Amino acid sequence: MHREVTSFVRRSARMRESLRRTYDAQLGGLVVDVPQGELRTSVAADATPLDLPALFGREAPVVVEIGCGPGDSLVPMAAARPEVDVLAFEVYEPAVAALVARLVREDVGNVRVAPVDAVAGLDRLLGEGSLSEVWTFFPDPWPKAKHHKRRLVDRAFADLVASRLTPGGRWRLATDWDGYAEQMREVLAAQPLLVAEPEDRGDRPVTRFERRGLAEGRAITDLVFRRA
């Protein structure tokens, strides 16, 4: 059983009417219809794993992005990888709607979005060894020491991600908080199935969060760990 403490701040779900129409039109399409638990962003305890080939309409390697926002990194990275399918977890509905509108506008068809908590989503909707990559770019750093327990990347989450990666699969992470970067290194290095690779951003584009961090004088850390 994985922790139910959420790792994100739940913000207002108000959105423009045009985005609301876009969001509603894609429910069950680009927006995955997930059985909900008690909370709007939770996953029902008895939910069964997604049929990924049915969801995407083909057999292909699957990548998960956690906290994709409006798709600053997701859309160009998915468009550059037409041979893979990308399942994104994002709880903020206006961001999901903006992402969906962009996917439609740019004709990127290999992405689906699940508007639920990523921890529960990985745990209940995805089977072991089902993912070729996981992307975790700029998760909330919860900078105050008393809030560090809410950071997404901890021992339990590392165990969960490692179990979902196929052997040889990679977990790519980025943060602009040095303390969180060090925590990520320590936690992932302690997971026996994960092996550190050279730190590399690859083709990850610059996001608005990255620009903000750079403007405030923070260094960017990109980590890569491989499932043994």
Task: Please identify every residue annotated as catalytic.
Answer: 140
C-beta separation of 167 from 161 below 8 A: no
Q: Decide the pairing of beta strands 165-175 and 221-227.
A: antiparallel
Ligand-binding annotation for 176, yes or no, is yes
90 in a known ligand binding site = yes
Give the pair of three-digit tokens for residue 135.
């992307």
How far does CA 132 lie from the centroid of its chain?
13
Strands 221-227 and 194-197: antiparallel
- How many Å apart are CA 87 and CA 22, to the nearest integer? 18
Which 3 state secondary structure label does DSSP give 31? Answer: strand
Please check if 209 is assigned to a binding site. yes
222 labeled part of a ligand binding site = no
- Rounded-to-10 torsion of CA 206, 208, 214, 219: -60
6 is in an annotated binding site: no
Q: Which of 152, 145, 156, 139 is nearest to 207 (CA)?
A: 139
Q: Is 208 annotated as a binding residue?
A: yes
CA distances from 51 to 54, 56, 83 (A): 5, 9, 18
CA angle 170, 186, 127 (to 5 degrees): 40
> For 97, which DSSP code?
H
Q: Which helix (H) or strand (E) holds 172?
A: strand 165-175
Report whether 93 belongs to an annotated binding site: no
Known binding residue 210? Answer is: yes
Binding-site residues for S-adenosyl-L-methionine, in ranges, read 65, 90, 117, 140
Residue ranges for the known binding site are: 65, 90, 117, 140, 144, 176, 207-210
Detail the residues annotated as belonging to a binding site for substrate.
Answer: 144, 176, 207-210
